[in-house]
Chains A and B, each alone.
Chain A
Amino acid sequence: MSIAAPQGGHEALDVNAVRRDFPVLEQTVRGKPLAYLDNAATSQKPRRVIEAIDHYYRHDNANIHRGVHTLSERATAAYENAREGLARFINANSAKELVFLRGTTEAINLVANAWARPKLGRGDRVLITEAEHHSNIVPWQLLCEQTGAELRVVPVTDSGELDLDAFEQELTGEPAIFAVGHVSNALGTVNPLEYLIPRAKAVGATVVVDGAQATPHLAVDVQALGCDFYAFSGHKMFGPTGIGCLWGRAEHLDAMPPWQGGGEMIKVVRFDKSLWNDIPHKFEAGTPNIAGAIGLGEAAAYISELGIDRIAAREALLLEHATRVLSEVPGLRIIGTGPHKAAVVSFVMTDIHPHDLGTILDHEGIAIRAGHHCAMPLMERFGVAATTRASMAMYNTTEEIDRLAAALTRAREVLA
Chain B
Amino acid sequence: MDLQSLYHEIIVDHNRRPRNFRRIEDATRMSEGHNPLCGDKLKLYVLLEDGVIKDVSFEGSGCAISMASASLLTERLKGRPEAEAEELFEEMHRLLTSDSEAEADTDKLGKLASLAGVRAYPSRVKCATLSWHTLHAALEGEDLISTE
A interface vs B, CB < 8 Å?
352-356, 359-360, 363, 370-372, 379, 384-386, 414-416
B40 & A385 in contact (Cβ 8 Å cutoff) = yes
For chain B, the count of residues having a C-beta within 8 Å of the partner chain is 20
Instruction: State A370–B62 Cα separation when bound (angstroms).
Output: 13
A414 & B38 in contact (Cβ 8 Å cutoff) = no
Given contacts A385-B39, A385-B41, A386-B39, contact A353 B62 (CB under 8 A): yes
B32-55 CB mask vs A (1 if < 8 Å, else 0) is 000001111100000000000000
* Candidate in A353, A355, A370, A386 with the most chain B CB atoms within 10 angstroms: A355
Instruction: State A175–B62 Cα separation when bound (angstroms).
Output: 39
Minimum CB–CB distance from A115 to chain B (whole Å) comes to 31
* Partner pick for B38 among A352, A355, A415, CB 8 A cutoff: A355
Contact sample, A vs B, 5 pairs, CB 8 Å cutoff? A352-B64, A371-B37, A386-B38, A414-B7, A416-B16
Instruction: State A132–B3 Cα separation when bound (angstroms).
Output: 35
B86-128 CB mask vs A (1 if < 8 Å, else 0) is 0000000000000000000000000000000000010010010
B39 & A372 in contact (Cβ 8 Å cutoff) = yes
Minimum CB–CB distance from A385 to chain B (whole Å) comes to 3
For A379, the chain B residues whose CB sits under 8 A away are 39
B interface vs A, CB < 8 Å?
2-3, 6-7, 12, 15-16, 37-41, 61-65, 121, 124, 127
For B6, the chain A residues whose CB sits under 8 A away are 359
For A353, the chain B residues whose CB sits under 8 A away are 38, 62-64
Minimum CB–CB distance from A341 to chain B (whole Å) comes to 24
* Partner pick for A415 among B2, B12, B61, CB 8 A cutoff: B12
Minimum CB–CB distance from B34 to chain A (whole Å) comes to 10
Given contacts A385-B39, A385-B40, contact A356 B3 (CB under 8 A): no
For A371, the chain B residues whose CB sits under 8 A away are 37-39
For A354, the chain B residues whose CB sits under 8 A away are 38, 63
Minimum CB–CB distance from B2 to chain A (whole Å) comes to 8
A416 & B12 in contact (Cβ 8 Å cutoff) = yes
For A415, the chain B residues whose CB sits under 8 A away are 7, 12, 15-16, 64
In the complex, residue of chain B having the shortest beta-carbon distance to the beta carbon of A360: B3
Q: Which 9 residue pairs across A and B have the least CB separation, nearest first?
A: A385-B39, A353-B63, A355-B63, A386-B39, A356-B64, A356-B63, A355-B38, A363-B3, A414-B7
B7 & A355 in contact (Cβ 8 Å cutoff) = no
Minimum CB–CB distance from A326 to chain B (whole Å) comes to 20
For A384, the chain B residues whose CB sits under 8 A away are 39
Instruction: State A386–B61 Cα separation when bound (angstroms).
Output: 11
Instruction: State A386–B64 Cα separation when bound (angstroms).
Output: 14
Instruction: State A354–B12 Cα separation when bound (angstroms).
Output: 15
In the complex, residue of chain B having the shortest beta-carbon distance to the beta carbon of A358: B123
A359 & B121 in contact (Cβ 8 Å cutoff) = yes
Instruction: State A379–B38 Cα separation when bound (angstroms).
Output: 11
Instruction: State A370–B121 Cα separation when bound (angstroms).
Output: 15
Instruction: State A354–B66 Cα separation when bound (angstroms).
Output: 13
For A360, the chain B residues whose CB sits under 8 A away are 3, 7
Given contacts A363-B3, A372-B39, A414-B3, contact A356 B12 (CB under 8 A): no
Instruction: State A171–B114 Cα separation when bound (angstroms).
Output: 57
Instruction: State A370–B40 Cα separation when bound (angstroms).
Output: 12
B38 & A385 in contact (Cβ 8 Å cutoff) = yes
Instruction: State A203–B89 Cα separation when bound (angstroms).
Output: 59
Instruction: State A370–B6 Cα separation when bound (angstroms).
Output: 18
Minimum CB–CB distance from A331 to chain B (whole Å) comes to 14
Instruction: State A149–B1 Cα separation when bound (angstroms).
Output: 53
For B127, the chain A residues whose CB sits under 8 A away are 355
For A372, the chain B residues whose CB sits under 8 A away are 39
In the complex, residue of chain A having the shortest beta-carbon distance to the beta carbon of B39: A385
Instruction: State A34–B47 Cα separation when bound (angstroms).
Output: 49
Instruction: State A416–B17 Cα separation when bound (angstroms).
Output: 11
For B16, the chain A residues whose CB sits under 8 A away are 415-416
